[in-house]
Structure 1
């Protein structure tokens, strides 16, 4: 029976749900529950009969002292201890020690119960850590909390809430006091309405409002709150208050700086844009919008040059972008030509500057473009003016040499004839010399008239071009030269359409027609009837008057550079003076035109006179 009782007792102990061990007075393990064995991964063969200090070598020393006091009949207090297992895992246990009595109330050992509370301890530690972090964040972010109990009508403020309101630690606010701290007007009305709606309808709130602290400081705060319910019954309010004064001031300053910068950028006389790594525009100013013909920057944001310009221009721009983005090197002061999709051509002085992030990586580029189309136009005009001035200077020097030479020749001729006249006694010879003097005088007058006409052409800038019906002008020249043409049995073919119009100075055009027709007849081929043909054509926006003859022709390889020179002749013709083509060329150039010549010796010459429609 006794053995049966022992076995029954051991069976019951093994079924105890919490880890339990029975120790004798030598603190040796006599009995143990299955949960004790499983918890500490014991082997039953090596467990019973061993001292507890051997079984649990990692147990704290104070636990043995508690057990020894239990042997004297003193109940041990509960304790929480940390154990580190052989595999270096941390475990927390709550232990209790109770004296073990026999039926005669004699202490025969200790009953040790151990409960694994690792999960609970870890949660408590995590909660404490969270609380510490929240408190630190609340201090850093100046966030305070508050709670209102609807039954006791008590409002509780945390230390940070008191600090924001600048009240002492023993200050006890009411719900009305809390509302009174909000600045009179919009802020107080807004918080009053929010609290009322929360109490009546359960609606939470989050408002950015102003409060006036106990010392009179105006502070911007973000106030939040929501109602609390228990079993569907309203029991109070809970919320936070965050001091955002500095952040608000910083944001306001930042906004002001951004607005100032935007105003400056928008009013710069430059096209300004920022592109990302894919060359998409992420910022543009008003000048860039105006150039691309849009009223809103949103119409350009996110677009690449391929969507705004023709492909060639877009590809050139992309290649420049890639150079800047890949090398982190700016392109400064580069002259570029931009052609929009509508065909507008603009000359820019452009710069592209890489933008770097905090890590020194390129994240985009800043583009600056100044429209220099007007400057390029003025540069072109200045270059043309310099060219014209250079040509005019050469003409002037040449003209001066010619005038000097011709007048010197006439002067020498006069001087020689007068010497002959003064020393000649014979009357007949004197009369012959006087005749020669008259001829010399006529030649001098002709020379002076020619020189005067050249000067008039080059100095008369007030004469305006007008629309002249070319067919009619040629007909008028034929009428003027009718006797001359008839006497030389010459033919003029006017093949110009009646509707053809050329912008020209009428008097110059008449002179040009007469000169070319006269030359075509004067330098006729001796073996054929002289013919002069006049026609009209258009070439590249210019009116072209074409005059061809079947005369002697000119060796252009030999005389081409002298063809329109002053007093240059190319045929042994008694009436050749070398002034007609020179005057004609000056008249054409005075109308912003040019003369193109082609000729074959023995066959004839073709002159093409080009005049710009808009000139």
Structure 2
């Protein structure tokens, strides 16, 4: 009988197929649901590691002694499946003779016979496959957990189509649903404007010249949260050295980055405070020692002098030294006061109000010099600041501009504010005599440093101004040209 003549096999053919199935360790079982009679093939015993007849061939033995209790519902569901849409499959654990419980795949079919409904099943050992599958799932879960904890995900770009594929962790950083599919351009649009060209160029360089990249950039999520992220890409090359794929990682490093920025800011602040402390120590040790030495010398001279005229002259010198010493102590007190006032509560201060108060106090100087003063605080009318500091900054800068006016022209002073992001700048510009920056630039903010021949120059105003600005986390920069003028750029916050 050929296969073309009929679709039924002879008994001899079926027996032959059964021997083949047994030899490849596939187990066949049969269960009559009416009579509860069970039949197992030789391969069934072999798959479990037993010889035929070594264990009881019964429904009860299989269900109570071989089948793992946790898998009973799955096996029953597959066995008594209504049979719509193919053969039901269940993955179950059976107790083998030598290796304990192992995974098997059970496929069942139902057939009606003269003796009643019969369920046929095939058992295949899938233990190795199942264990590998479980391990793979565990590894995938572990990697996903690591990615979730570390806030890191992976992505891939296929250069032929420039298709972008993101993992769930990357979508989490984007604060988007994984159902949203994005192009490269759409993904780049999430970066802050100043970093978009950087990201575009990095990807182009990776595609064209196989250059890897690693960038730390600002990123705005779908929920409008601005965070720092690390974007890293590595080209994958074909045999000809051409980039076929770019694979990379994307990580939320916002907390780490901000801690680093804060730490660096603290280091810079400590460095500045250390320099100020060294300067302060130098002033105390040098200036006070000088005053004390001079005073002691004059006192000795006074005691040794017998003539009234000489003693009167020496006493006048003692008085001058005493006044100078008092002035120095006063300046040192102002410096110490800067640090102690940092803890004072900041208040909302109006630039216009503070400046007008200072200008009113200096009205006589302004009128006598014929100074023209222009102010524009519209970019940032007010700020949270220590009022006394703001008044001191305005007073020192305005006094400086009036004091060092150019002899051949009337002073013109421009004062304004600017805002860049969260930073507020105070700009103060004049057309005075200017400062020789290459010569004196590094000494400009030193205590008792003067660069002009004015008799009333003390060299203390700018020193105090810089200390006040930096004490509140700001900075001050000077641009000046001799006989042209000076511009102070003060970053207040």
TM-score above 0.5: yes
* Residue 256 (structure 1) shift: 4.5
Matched, 1:397 2:278: yes
Equivalent-residue separation in structure 2 for 1:272 and 1:284 (angstroms): 6
1:139 to 23, 41, 44: 23
Moved more, 450-459 or 131-140: 131-140
Structure 1 residue 419 corresponds to structure 2 residue 300: yes
Question: How do 1:170-569 and structure 2 match up within 5 A?
Answer: 183=63, 221-227=106-112, 240-244=120-124, 246-247=125-126, 253=131, 256-268=134-146, 269-270=149-150, 271-273=152-154, 284=167, 287-296=169-178, 308-309=187-188, 313=199, 316=202, 335-337=214-216, 342=221, 346-348=228-230, 371-458=252-339, 460-485=341-366, 488=368, 490-491=370-371, 493-497=373-377, 500-527=381-408, 531=411, 533-541=413-421, 542-569=423-450
Query: Structure 1, residues 401-455: CA drift from partner, whole Å, max 9, x if none?
Result: 3332222321232122212211222223322322221221111000111122123
Give the deviation of 1:584 after TM superposition: 1.9
Inter-CA distance 497–553: structure 2 relative to 1 (3 Å threshold)? same
- 8 Å Cα contact 1:143-1:242 kept in structure 2: yes
The alignment partner of 2:24 has SS state of helix
Structure 2 match to 1:587 = 468
Helix, strand or coil for the counterpart of 2:448? coil
The within-5 A match list for 1:109-148 is 132=16, 135-144=19-28
Distance in 1 (CA, whole Å) between partners of 2:482 and 2:245 is: 69
CA 1:385–1:425 in 2, change beyond 3 Å: closer, same or farther? same
Counterpart-to-counterpart distance in 1, 2:91 and 2:288: 101
Aligned partners of 1:187, 1:392: CA distance in 2, in Å?
Answer: 72
Kept after mapping to 2: 8 A contact 1:204/1:226: no
Whether the aligned pair in 1 keeps the contact of 2:153 and 2:170 (CA below 8 Å) is: yes
Is the contact made by 1:465 and 1:591 (CA closer than 8 Å) also made in structure 2? no
Structure having the higher Rg: 1
Deviations for 1:273-322, whole angstroms, at most 9, x for unmatched residues? 4759779788835x4342132355x657xx78666445863774697699
**Structure 1 residues 417 and 188: alpha-carbon distance in aligned structure 2, compared to 1, 3 A threshold:** closer
Cα contact 1:591–1:611 (8 A) shared by 2 = no
Query: Does structure 2 retain, via aligned residues, the 8 Å contact 1:562–1:568?
Result: yes
Per-residue CA shift, 1:479-524, capped at 9, x if unaligned?
A: 22334555x3544535335882244321112122222332333334
Q: Distance in 2 between matches of 1:599 and 1:162?
A: 96
1:545-591 CA-partner distances (Å, limit 9, x unpaired) = 34344543333343233222221122222222222222222222223
Gaps of 5+ in 1: 1-116, 121-126, 170-176, 229-233, 355-362
Say whether the 8 Å CA contact 1:568–1:578 is kept in structure 2.
yes
RMSD of aligned residue pairs (Cα, Å): 5.3
Aligned equivalents of 1:527, 1:210: Cα separation in 2: 101
Measure how far apart 1:473 and its partner are: 1.1
Give the superposition deviation at 1:348.
Answer: 3.2
The aligned counterpart of 2:193 is: none
C-alpha contact 1:593 1:610 (8 A) present in aligned 2: yes
Whole-Å separation in 2 of the counterparts to 1:257 and 1:250: 11
**2: distance between equivalents of 1:203 and 1:432?**
122
Residue 130 and residue 282 in structure 1: after superposition, are their counterparts in 2 closer, same or farther (change >3 A)?
Answer: farther
Kindly indicate whether the alpha-carbon contact (under 8 Å) linking 2:79 and 2:119 is maintained by their aligned counterparts in 1: no
CA separation of 1:132/1:493 partners in 2, compared to 1, >3 Å: closer, same or farther?
Answer: same
Q: Which has the higher contact order (CA 8 A, sep 6+)?
A: 2
Looking at structure 1, the residues matched to 373 and 28 of structure 2 have their Cα atoms a distance apart, in angstroms, of 107
**Counterparts of 2:105 and 2:140, CA distance in 1:** 27
TM-score normalized with structure 1 length: 0.57
Native 8 Å contact 2:414 2:430 kept in 1: no
Give distance in 2, aligned partners of 1:557 and 1:191: 90
Structure 1 pair 424/477, CA: closer, same or farther in 2 (3 Å)?
A: same
Go from structure 1 to structure 2 and tell me whether the alpha carbon gap of 1:224 and 1:412 turns closer, same or farther (over 3 Å shift). Answer: same
- C-alpha contact 1:308 1:341 (8 A) present in aligned 2: no
- Give the Cα separation in 2 of the matches to 1:128 and 1:224: 22
Q: CA deviation at 1:183?
A: 4.6
Q: Structure 1 residue 241: deviation in Å?
A: 2.6
Structure 1 residues 224, 396: CA separation in 2 closer, same or farther (over 3 Å shift)?
same
Equivalent positions of 1:66-105 (< 5 A) are none
CA distance in 1, matches of 2:106, 2:118: 16
1:135-158 Cα deviation digits (max 9, x unpaired): 32343242437799xxxx9x9968
What is the distance in 2 between the residues matched to 1:323 and 1:283? 23
The 1:337–1:251 alpha-carbon spacing in structure 2 relative to 1, beyond 3 Å, is: same
Taking structure 2 as the reference length, the TM-score comes to: 0.69
Partner SS, residue 467 of structure 1: strand
Secondary structure at 1:495's aligned position in 2? strand
